Chain A
């Protein structure tokens, strides 16, 4: 019952934010200075045709009515038509969703694999040269432009060593993993340091808490204490940090997809800015916003699985 209440409360919390997202997305095309249709068509269009497009798009109706229609359509997954590509925005977006989601999952997994052992090392050997070296390393990782480190990885592993493909996304799942490795590593260069920093202090908190001593007094091995009593507790801050930084992660993904020519949402966004394909840009912004909201919701729900204390409030 408590669990049910918690889930409902979290979902309800997301609703106003989602509404706000739709408002921003809806308004964006109306904020274009001048005539968006003319800009989109680069002026190669007759006045009568412009009026017809406005009418077809429903953009000659009162703005509030337009929003209601927009919202209704968005609810059933209709995000309008791309005027440039002459295809439904929803179809174009869904096509590119998969590579982006894979990139997110792969880079998050890679960052966790890097950050967890290093943060444990830093916590166990705190205030030693090793701790300092790890902290310094994460500052370097944080300060590197991701498109730059992506280019360098490409140069080194792709062109000089020829180990990994430098662009595109393969066909078979295994091939796709090979293609995604360098882009994911590039993202891990800035995501892992962020994780590392909060994990280190979380690990320190857990390691010095009394229940760890109790576990030792029970005769558990250090290994079991680490797996069962330290890592599980430290997962809570990991999830928080990942959720808080999902916006940065997605921002990084946009750039990295562009660098590695991955056919994902990010490279589609960059390209459609060049074409001024406003309906497509709107659709992409909407999907990015929804992704952030969903990830935050998932984070809230996974707290519940890891730490039942959240049910108290």
Chain B
């Protein structure tokens, strides 16, 4: 087996607050192969965004504290790099696209200048050359008459265009891995699809890997090769997208899938997940999903839980994955 592009082993991210420590990521183990798309799904507060920032080491420390057996990117442990070495990776080998394009660009500088800034810093390109590259990339991400608009300021662009600019900014370094943290959440539904297909096109052209973070199961199901489902800072299910979609092995995944609206589905109320995500500061022992789980039993609340590997390149953190099938039957009746 070839070496994966990104191999995370036992990653834990804690935040120290005056009211005690909170673990935002707990013992995550995850790999991303070159060129693949990994979807990470979960509710807000499940630790998806923290994971992206931990990979790029963007979390300010203190209060954040990152520990891991290894956080290897192309064979180098990112946690062992010096700050200057880490900066060479950011924007070059690993780039990131953020949730809100409206605030991702500095309002006081022209867009082209911000898009090409990484090239000037990392590759030592001159102003004119960097500007030309910025125009080309803006053109590539679908900005009409990019040569005329390269000197525009962010306030002159719409949200969808700005997200294209942010993607262009990320692509300037020709990254091997793109972290996309809810790249479509802040956008109109019609724009969402365009941005997603732009990302997929760029991936086909460059062969980069993408980690696509979303709270929306339908976004992930359309675009990803593999999916990791996160809940309360842990991965609760991991596997090939098609398998997970057709036969989830964790009640939480099952609930997420049920809450996607289907055009062909019979009428009726949209399914929701009862209860609230748990407070990360005070977790009970046992499965964190148990209080909201429709098939939980006493063991679930008592026994500590870990991600179990199953045949067929799958893993689940449910004590009783076989019960998920019962849920389907119960829902059908």
Contacts and interface: CB of A to CB of B under 8 A. Distances in A.
Q: Do chains A and B touch in the complex (CB under 8 A)?
A: yes
A150 B89 CA distance: 54
B58 A309 contact: no
B95 interface: yes
Interface string A174-217: 00000000000000000000000000000000000111011111
Interface string B107-145: 111000000011001100000000000000000000000
A44 interface: no
B98 interface: yes
A229 B117 CA distance: 12
Given A233-B106, A306-B108, A213 B98 contact: yes
B74 to A, nearest CB: 16
- Size category of the A interface is 20 to 34
Interface residues of B, number: 30
A219 B89 contact: yes
Interface string B55-91: 0101000000000000000000000000010011111
Given A210-B98, A210-B103, A224-B121, A216 B90 contact: yes
A218 B84 CA distance: 13
A221 B89 CA distance: 12
Contact of A229 (B84, B96, B106, B122): B106
Contacts of B117: 215, 218, 220
Nearest to B95: A217
A221 B100 CA distance: 23
A142 to B, nearest CB: 29
Contacts of A224: 121
The listed residue with most B CB atoms (<10 A of its CB), out of A213, A217, A306, A309, is A217
B166 interface: yes
A228 B169 CA distance: 17
A214 B153 contact: no
A10 B48 CA distance: 48
Nearest to A213: B58
A219 B107 contact: no
A308 B156 CA distance: 9
B155 A217 contact: no
Contact of A309 (B100, B107, B118, B122): B107
A52 interface: no
Contacts of B96: 214, 217
A214 B104 contact: yes
Contacts of B91: 217-220
B98 A214 contact: yes
Contacts of B214: none
A224 B104 CA distance: 17
Contacts of B106: 211, 215, 229, 232-233
Given A218-B117, A220-B87, 16 more contacts: A211-B105, A213-B53, A214-B96, A217-B98, A218-B118, A218-B121, A219-B90, A219-B118, A219-B121, A220-B117, A232-B109, A233-B108, A307-B108, A308-B155, A309-B155, A312-B155
